[in-house]
Amino acid sequence: GDSVTQMEGPVTLSEEAFLTINCTYTATGYPSLFWYVQYPGEGLQLLLKATKADDKGSNKGFEATYRKETTSFHLEKGSVQVSDSAVYFCASSFYGGSQGNLIFGKGTKLSVKP
Amino acid sequence: GAGVSQSPSNKVTEKGKDVELRCDPISGHTALYWYRQSLGQGLEFLIYFQGNSAPDKSGLPSDRFSAERTGGSVSTLTIQRTQQEDSAVYLCATTVSSYNEQFFGPGTRLTVL
């Protein structure tokens, strides 16, 4: 079945460091891809998305590019801040399908130290 | 309200008891999903409602789990004869349609003793 695999954490970085969180997917076809973020004590929020191959999603300095050839959607940020400390989830979905439900990776906890 | 709301925020129950979890969607959102977030399994899809169509129950882990959506609005997830492995955070998400971004509620943390 369809699945999403992301690098396991926790990841600890110093402020202004470069961030990469790897994510790969398996699917029959070409799903839409997402990164969700869960800040401490808060609910899941959509961070960015891409709906087709070679699309780049971006938000709040984070970026991810939909790579069909490597079935990947790695999350990157050039300079992390303490406020980026959160759990990040990669997810896939077939928009407009019979369900459109999200399939999530297990999450990666990021801690940014000042 | 402006966002998806869920109640209660926390629920502690004894093994074998039934529990009901409630989700109030964003007004106008006809699609509603329930997910479960647990330490061992991560985030899992449970059930999907779209308008007045029959729900997609393919993610429900056992027949102890059921859900209703009354009048296309509020949804209730019921777990009968709770087990310790049911302990998790239950998340509700709603959207205008399965083509659109899902908005998540804050979740209900269920602890089964």
* Cα B43 to Cα B41: distance, rounded to the nearest angstrom: 6
Among the partner-chain residues B42, B59, B93, the one whose CB lies closest to the CB of A106 is B42
Number of neighbours of residue B96 by Cβ within 10 angstroms: 14
Q: Which of residues 77-96 of B touch A (CB under 8 A)?
A: 91, 93, 95
Render pLDDT for A61-112 as a digit per residue (tens, 0 to 9).
Answer: 999 999 999 999 999 999 999 999 999 999 998 755 556 788 999 999 999 9
* Cα A82 to Cα A89: distance, rounded to the nearest angstrom: 18
Render pLDDT for B68-110 as a digit per residue (tens, 0 to 9).
Answer: 998 778 999 999 999 999 999 999 999 887 667 889 999 999 9
Q: Which of residues 47-76 of B touch A (CB under 8 A)?
A: 48, 56, 58-59
A103-104 and A86-93 strand pairing: antiparallel
Q: Please, are residues A108 and A87 in contact by the beta-carbon 8 Å criterion? A: yes
Instruction: Report yes or no: B14 at the A interface, CB cutoff 8 Å.
Output: no
